[in-house]
Amino acid sequence: MASVVLSEAEKLYIVHGVQEDLRVDGRGCEDYRCAEVETDVVSNTSGSARVKLGHTDILVGVKAEMGTPKLEKPDEGYLEFFVDCSANATPEFEGRGGEELGTEIANTLYRVFSSESCVDLKSLCINPREHCWVLYVDVLLLECGGNLFDAISIAVKAALFNTRIPKVRVLEDEEGSKEIELSDDPYDCIRLNVDDVPCIVTLSKIGYRHVVDATLQEEACSLASLLISVTSKGALTSMKKVGKGSLDPESIFEMMEMGKRVGKSLHIALQKILDEEESLGTSRQKVGFLG
Amino acid sequence: MAAISMRLPVPRKAVGLSAPRGGEKHLVAPGDTITTDTGYMRGHGTYVEEEKLIASVAGAVERVNKLVCVRALKTRYNGEVGDIVVGRITEVQQKRWKVETNSRLDSVLLLSSMNLPGGELRRRSAEDELAMRDYLQEGDLISAEVQSVFSDGAVSLHTRSLKYGKLGQGVLVQVSPSLVKRQKTHFHDLPCGASVILGNNGFIWIYPTPEQKDEEAGGFTTNLEPVPLSDREVISRLRNCIVALVTQNLMLFDTSILYCYEASLPHQIKDILKPEVMEEIVLETRQRLLDLEG
């Protein structure tokens, strides 16, 4: 992960600030930085989203391809995650430096989406045991400004909301061989229901309190963090502790409660912005990367 | 209560040239022809191709008699003798420290250019060399003055005055060096209740104003007491104001920071970073600065 070096006095200042609920940029312990969300930025994907959370910039593209279902779940489609830490984000990611972080994030995403209720995988099935939709979710880290997991999960949810999977019909021949027919209308597609897609909330322990949405400087002062994934209804789908410090079971419980609260507000804010963008329709001025 | 605000991105709009001060600036981008007149000498940021003088960086053209050069708007810090800089120690070597100052090469702080605690003046011994890490470690922040510039552009620093030395508790903001205005003094005690050091290299240090002014330590003993909440609010507000000024590309000096602070008072500290509030505050600051000039 990208890290900054801080002097002891600076770290002390940050820690004392968090104790008094006034962080360096004036936020409270439960406040997020201003986020910018835009979907449909990459034209040759089934769905895409770009999220800017302070200095963290994430681009997610979803491609729907046809594949064979997994053996143990023959009537469901599935999601594949791949995370690329581009060297643009920080010089530490040069060459193969970003691979470790990329695999860690991808594994976390697999865990978060492992719960059955997150995405309706049965709707991705075309022919049981033969054909199904596989959603390849590619995450690209453009800039590292702290709080990667939250931004990535917001971007993944927005990209899945934006994904349009073409409608297919299965035709049976007289010999019994099945043919798949794609509908001619490019706008005839199915959308995914992302109501139960979880978002990750990272709670970093700084001193005796915990904060959400830590900047790079705050991450340098925190020894332990808890990553929890929360759905919009407040249900936890996974939990992971990172960092070399230790967490008291009491504080884990408090962090979980705070995470659930913050997660619910996060979902409400994200859904509102996605609906707003949707309602603008084709009249929306696309900003993209050159705006 | 969690405050989470998400918004759709807005395309950047061109900053309106409200009042061009001091005449129009000739702005160029890399590849633009500056002049086809062959009588000029090429300076920094230019090159000659097919008898045309072409810019190699994006910035403003400066002409001194026959010398044409382009001063880039966003560059690394180029040291000049007498500049005040704020730097971070990256390495501790034999008899010197390497300091990161946002320039092309790490700056150098020699052991002999550093004040000893108590203000002693004596020859540095081998024990001083071994105790270097007790004075300054990797990651520490210092304020120093540029003593000289080496031929390769590396800068040599010194802290031979009691006002320079290791910095204690506070907040560092990193901006582009071209946004810091050159002034007589870069250490300001703002009336709102905090002090600020505007490093020429773009590192701005905001810290709580120390109570006693008779610090004989020369900045070696760091005050590790918690800073009171009222001071913290002032420091956070100043930090957000500086970020707002930088985003809108306004020059940073004590008056502009102070006006921006006063314009931001009606808003909450965390709201200052919202794009619309930033524009409003900086517009008001710009207006007041123009009124001040004439």
| Whole-number pLDDT of residue B18 | 55
Condensed to tens digits (0 to 9), the pLDDT of residues A81-91 reads 999 998 888 88
Q: Evaluate whether residue A2 is within a structural domain.
A: no
> For A149-158, A186-195, B112-121, B164-173, which range has the lowest pLDDT when averaged over its residues?
B112-121
Q: Evaluate whether residue A194 is within a structural domain.
A: yes
Is A18 or A286 the better-scoring residue by pLDDT?
A: A18
Say yes or no to pLDDT of A47 above 60.
yes
Cβ within 8 Å, pair B3-A12: no
Burial (Cβ within 10 Å: 0-12, 13-18, ≥19) of residue B130: exposed
| Whole-number pLDDT of residue B212 | 67
| Whole-number pLDDT of residue A2 | 65
Q: Evaluate whether residue A87 is within a structural domain.
A: yes
Cβ within 8 Å, pair B2-A265: yes
Question: Which residues in A lie closer than 8 A to residue B169 (C-beta atoms)?
Answer: 9-10, 12-13
Q: At A148, which CATH number?
A: 3.30.230.70
Mean pLDDT of A233-260: 91
* Chain B residues with CB within 8 Å of chain A CB: 1-12, 88, 90, 138-141, 167-172, 222, 224, 226-227, 229, 232-233, 236-237, 239-240, 268-270, 272-275
Q: Evaluate whether residue A270 is within a structural domain.
A: yes
Sketch out chain B's domains with CATH numbers. 27-72 (2.40.50.100)
Name the residue with tokens 């090159």: B47
Q: Does A212 touch chain B (CB under 8 A)?
A: yes
| pLDDT > 70 in chain A, percent | 98
CA A71 to chain CA centroid, Å, is 27
| Whole-number pLDDT of residue B17 | 56
**Strand duo B41-42 + B67-72: pairing:** parallel
Tokens of B127: 């024990």
Q: Evaluate whether residue A289 is within a structural domain.
A: no
Say yes or no to pLDDT of A186 above 80.
no
Q: What is the pTM of this model?
A: 0.90
Say yes or no to pLDDT of A159 above 90.
yes
B281: alpha, beta or left, given left = phi > 0 and alpha = psi -120 to 50?
alpha
Q: Evaluate whether residue A286 is within a structural domain.
A: no
Cβ within 8 Å, pair B270-A10: no
Mean pLDDT of A35-56: 92
Say yes or no to pLDDT of A107 above 90.
yes
| Whole-number pLDDT of residue A178 | 75
DSSP A56: E
Question: Which residues in A lie closer than 8 A to residue B139 (C-beta atoms)?
Answer: 5-8
The C-alpha atoms of residue A42 and residue B175 are separated, in whole angstroms, by 32
Detail the DSSP E strand segments found in B94-241.
Answer: 96-100, 107-110, 141-149, 155-158, 165-166, 171-174, 187-189, 194-198, 203-208
Domain extent at residue A75: 8-280
- How many contacts does A have with B, using Cβ atoms within 8 A? 125
Burial (Cβ within 10 Å: 0-12, 13-18, ≥19) of residue A169: exposed
Which residues in chain B land under pLDDT 50? 216
Please tell me the total count of domains within chain A. Answer: 1
| Whole-number pLDDT of residue B123 | 79
Q: Evaluate whether residue A117 is within a structural domain.
A: yes
Query: Using only C-alpha atoms, what is the Rg of chain A?
Result: 21
Is A177 or B202 the better-scoring residue by pLDDT?
A: B202
Q: Evaluate whether residue A235 is within a structural domain.
A: yes
Q: Does A279 touch chain B (CB under 8 A)?
A: no
Of B3, B6, B11, the CB nearest to A291: B11
